Amino acid sequence: TQRYSLLLFVPGRAPFDLAWNRDDLHGVKLYIQRVFIMDAAEQLVPRYLRFLRGVVDSSDLPLNVSREILQDSPLLKKIRATVVKRALDMIEKLAESGGEPWDAFQRDFGAILKEGLIEDPEQRDRIARLVRFSSTASQAPHSVGLSDYLERAGDSADTIWYLTADSVRQALDSPHLEAFRAQGTEVLLLTDPIDAWVVNHLFEFDGKPLRSVADGPPTSDNDQDEAESDASDEAAGGAVGRIRAALGERVADVRASRRLTDSASCVVDPSGLDPRMRRMLEQAGQPVPQATPRLEVNPAHPLVRT
């Protein structure tokens, strides 16, 4: 029987550079027969749990262990799986208790935990139940879970809608929200830098797909609304044609929008690439597919009518 013991805890406050220093794996220390060997390598603690603190002690590893030996050690793989399980158990209990300790965890470590949605497919479902976002229903940071969203949406909900932005204020000002706001549909506001990457890996939750509001607007079952929309399209035909002629090749198309209620127009990326992700890739010098934007105009807006 292979023996080892763990002592793990989540600190009350994060180091100032924990969010971006992914190589900081000094929180959990490895001991062999109570002799300190090294700070925990990634073979022992995944990077998305780098906020953990504690010790691991084993009597079944050689004292002259090297990182190369650790890489292929079945015992270390078993210990790593236990570290992940115990850590997620601990975070789940913290979530059940709620209150200030849970709020503090989300404030300091919530964005780091989201990295696990990308890096650890085996634990993706458990982690998805622990991550938090803002939303149009609750704008406080890290206050809405995916389960909360579906509970409020009810049994009729078939989609989890989201919008990525640099801040909640910026998200709330987005014209893409207008149709959702008019229909009373809650939208998650994804403002952590990691969120733009998360939605490229977390495609669904409890069988409900995650979709960007840029793919919207939500469908309407109201025949009168559809008829009014068609009439509005016809009335805007002249304005749309003149705008299309004026912009030429600078836009892929100009069309009357069904997503706008208050704004005069909005720009849509037909490639489907999230605008925040596009900007991050460009800043990192990564190749980004070129796409000519589509302009949508609101036929009912006084500016368009004029």
Q: Which range (89-103, 219-233, 250-264, 276-290) has the least confidence? A: 219-233
Task: For residue 62, name the pLDDT band (cuts at 50, 70, 90).
Answer: low
Higher confidence at residue 160 or residue 304? 160
Q: Cα 53 from chain centroid? A: 25
**pLDDT exceeds cutoff 60 at 275:** yes
**pLDDT exceeds cutoff 70 at 83:** yes
Q: Which range (117-121, 229-233, 282-286, 289-293) has the least confidence? A: 229-233
**pLDDT exceeds cutoff 80 at 22:** no
pLDDT score at 269: 82
pLDDT score at 206: 94
What is the SS3 string spanning 70-99? HHCCHHHHHHHHHHHHHHHHHHHHHHHHCH
Beta pairing class for 53-58 and 204-205: unpaired
pTM: 0.83
Closest listed residue to residue 120, CA positions, set 177, 50, 18: 50
**pLDDT exceeds cutoff 80 at 154:** yes
pLDDT score at 40: 64
pLDDT score at 223: 46
